[in-house]
């Protein structure tokens, strides 16, 4: 690739000329532009595009739930094998981590999630899910295809990579805490920065939506069993009514956000589950309630968690009921707040502006939704952005987790090119910094 040789010639020159104070942005706009534009052209190349589409459709037809992505994982490994990319497997049951580049520091990671959802696809098309009750309705099939697309571009350019790119194919994003398990494996210990994307059915194709700082909430789930004493509905004095107790608990829980939280500090407590009773004339022995709580800081999250336990147990006691409150973090780990690193935000803006244009970068407003990318972004500098796919000429695009969810495959090259460009330019910039600042050499991964 001539353009990269040219970039590298300048880059090598810079390493001699640059002083640490000058090294904040080592690639000038022309260099960034040539990498970004060339990678987008590569990703749009018919053979690469068709190959990504095929991969995405194959995965779409065979959706697998969290920690069961065995066939998806096998498909990924087959493609990595064909490209001659070294990888580690299994990482967190079905996860795969590929390596491209020098094998040495700096290490930049790109992440794609692999799992589907337990729901029935209602879209009638040639590549509809073949598994009843399972569907890729969040676009993770497209995420895998885009990261493999990036892998192909990066592998073609591997001689020019100034460090190592890690391809992180992660299981169980949809509530299973797959990211947490991948971190616990230790395979990602030396990562310097990580980028992740989610395809968006809200934003137009060719746009990206992002911001620095906290962009998605931290979240947890709770469940409580309210124990009373069942009996005849017409003789309440002989019973301890858990239905009424649970009702009062739910009302009291609403006061945590409305009365105890700072109105400017967004928080949510929702009781989404209420199970108890089965007859019109029987007061049941117990009621089970459950729900989710969310906040934008560790302090607020911890405070909510503690108060949920207090409100449930004490309000139950008011009505002579006993309770147990369970957060079941083994199966449903608390998700940290997703915080986008400020320096990576600048880096992302530079790359996206060069590839797509400044007007194609939309500012992301924080949401109370969660992403288990937050585990990565808590462990090392991370950056998560949305990739638009809406094209009104192609009909209506339902948002994620809808049985009519569709992916606009024209978005695949954008994802692949952004992944590849972000990683390549990150390594170029940070490799020079390492040289000029005589940084300690880190272990190989
Ligand atoms: C609550 O627990 C106490 C102590 O174990 C027990 O005496 C009481 O009967 C329980 N009440 C209910 C409603 O289960
Ligand atoms: Zn989802
Ligand atoms: Zn998703």
Q: Would you say 282 and 221 are in contact if contact means Cβ atoms under 8 Å apart?
A: no
Q: Ligand 1, from 239, 322, 323, 324: best to mutate by most atoms within 8 Å of Cβ? A: 322
Task: Say how many Å lie between the CA of residue 274 and the centre of ligand 1.
Answer: 22
Do 159 and 65 share a structural domain?
A: yes
Report if pTM > 0.85: yes
* CATH number of the domain residue 315 falls in: 3.30.70.360
Do 316 and 288 share a structural domain?
A: yes
Do 149 and 60 share a structural domain?
A: yes
Do 306 and 197 share a structural domain?
A: no
Q: Which residue range(s) make up the domain with 82? A: 27-214+336-438
**Tokens describing residue 248:** 């009062």
Do 267 and 130 share a structural domain?
A: no
Task: Say how many Å lie between the CA of residue 229 and the centre of ligand 1.
Answer: 9
Distances in Å between the alpha carbon of 443 and those of 158, 187, 288?
Answer: 20, 12, 50
**pLDDT, tens digit only, all 445 positions of the chain:** 445 555 544 444 343 333 333 334 556 667 777 888 899 999 999 999 999 999 999 999 999 999 999 999 999 999 999 999 999 999 999 999 999 999 999 999 999 999 999 999 999 999 999 999 999 999 999 999 999 999 999 999 998 899 999 999 999 999 888 999 999 999 999 999 999 999 999 999 999 999 999 999 999 999 999 999 999 999 999 999 999 999 999 999 999 999 999 999 999 999 999 999 999 999 999 999 999 999 999 999 999 999 999 999 999 999 999 999 999 998 889 999 999 999 999 999 999 999 999 999 999 999 999 999 999 999 999 999 999 999 999 999 999 999 999 999 999 999 999 999 999 999 999 985 555 544 444 444 4
Measured from the alpha carbon of residue 245, the closest ligand is 1
Do 368 and 295 share a structural domain?
A: no
* CATH number of the domain residue 47 falls in: 3.40.630.10
**Tokens describing residue 243:** 């239905």
**Tokens describing residue 227:** 């124990």
- Ligand 1: atom nearest CA of 320 is 13
Do 72 and 198 share a structural domain?
A: yes
**Residue owning the nearest CA to atom 1 of ligand 1:** 322
Q: Is residue 16 part of a domain?
A: no
- Ligand 1: atom nearest CA of 240 is 13
Do 295 and 169 share a structural domain?
A: no
Q: For the packed helices 29-44 and 140-156, what is the interaxial angle rounded to 10 degrees?
A: 120
Do 134 and 261 share a structural domain?
A: no
The pairing of strands 213-216 and 164-170 is unpaired
Q: Is residue 157 part of a domain?
A: yes
- Say how many domains are in the chain: 2
**Residue owning the nearest CA to atom 8 of ligand 1:** 322
Do 384 and 420 share a structural domain?
A: yes
Q: Would you say 277 and 284 are in contact if contact means Cβ atoms under 8 Å apart?
A: yes
DSSP SS3 for 4: helix
Do 141 and 70 share a structural domain?
A: yes
Measured from the alpha carbon of residue 242, the closest ligand is 1
**Measured torsion, CA atoms of residues 85, 165, 176, 94, in degrees rounded to the nearest 10:** 10
Do 241 and 193 share a structural domain?
A: no
Q: Is residue 89 part of a domain?
A: yes
Q: Is residue 166 part of a domain?
A: yes
């Amino acid at each position: 690739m001539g353009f990269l040789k040219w970039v590298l010639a300048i880059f090598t020159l810079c390493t001699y000329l640059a002083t640490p104070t000058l090294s904040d942005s080592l690639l000038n706009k022309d260099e960034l532009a040539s990498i970004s534009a060339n990678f987008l052209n590569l990703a749009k190349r018919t053979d690469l595009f068709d190959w990504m589409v095929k991969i995405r459709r194959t995965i779409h037809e065979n959706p697998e739930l969290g920690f069961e992505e065995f066939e998806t994982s096998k498909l990924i490994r087959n493609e990595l094998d064909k490209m001659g990319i070294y990888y580690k497997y299994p990482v967190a049951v079905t996860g795969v981590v590929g390596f491209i580049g020098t094998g040495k520091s700096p290490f930049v990671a790109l992440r794609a999630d692999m799992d589907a959802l337990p729901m029935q696809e209602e879209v009638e098309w040639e590549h509809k899910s073949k598994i009843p009750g399972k569907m890729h309705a969040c676009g993770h099939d497209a995420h895998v295809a885009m990261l493999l697309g990036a892998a192909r571009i990066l592998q073609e350019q591997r001689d020019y990579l100034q460090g190592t790119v890690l391809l992180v194919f992660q299981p169980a994003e949809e509530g299973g805490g797959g990211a947490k398990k991948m971190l616990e494996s230790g395979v990602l210990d030396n990562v310097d920065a990580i980028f992740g994307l989610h395809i968006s059915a809200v934003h137009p194709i060719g746009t990206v939506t992002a911001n620095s700082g906290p962009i998605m909430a931290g979240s947890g789930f709770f469940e409580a069993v309210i124990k009373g004493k069942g009996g005849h509905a017409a003789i309440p004095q002989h019973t301890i009514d858990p239905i009424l107790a649970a009702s009062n608990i739910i009302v009291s829980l609403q006061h945590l956000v409305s009365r105890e939280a700072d109105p400017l500090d967004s928080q949510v407590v929702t009781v989404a589950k209420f199970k108890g009773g089965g007859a019109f004339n029987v007061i049941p022995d117990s009621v089970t309630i459950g729900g989710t709580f969310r906040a934008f800081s560790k302090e607020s999250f911890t405070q909510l968690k503690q108060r949920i336990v207090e409100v449930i147990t004490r309000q139950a006691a008011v009505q002579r009921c006993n309770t147990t409150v369970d957060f079941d973090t083994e199966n449903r780990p608390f998700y940290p707040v997703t915080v986008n690193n400020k320096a990576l935000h600048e880096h992302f803006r530079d790359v996206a502006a060069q590839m797509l244009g400044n007007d194609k970068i939309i500012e992301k407003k924080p949401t109370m939704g969660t992403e288990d990318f937050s585990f990565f972004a808590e462990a090392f500098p991370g950056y998560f952005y949305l990739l638009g796919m809406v094209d009104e000429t192609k009909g209506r695009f339902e948002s994620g987790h809808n049985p009519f969810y569709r992916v606009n495959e024209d978005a695949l090259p954008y994802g692949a090119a952004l992944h590849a460009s972000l990683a390549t330019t990150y390594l170029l910039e940070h490799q020079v910094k390492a040289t000029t600042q005589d940084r300690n050499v880190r272990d190989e991964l």
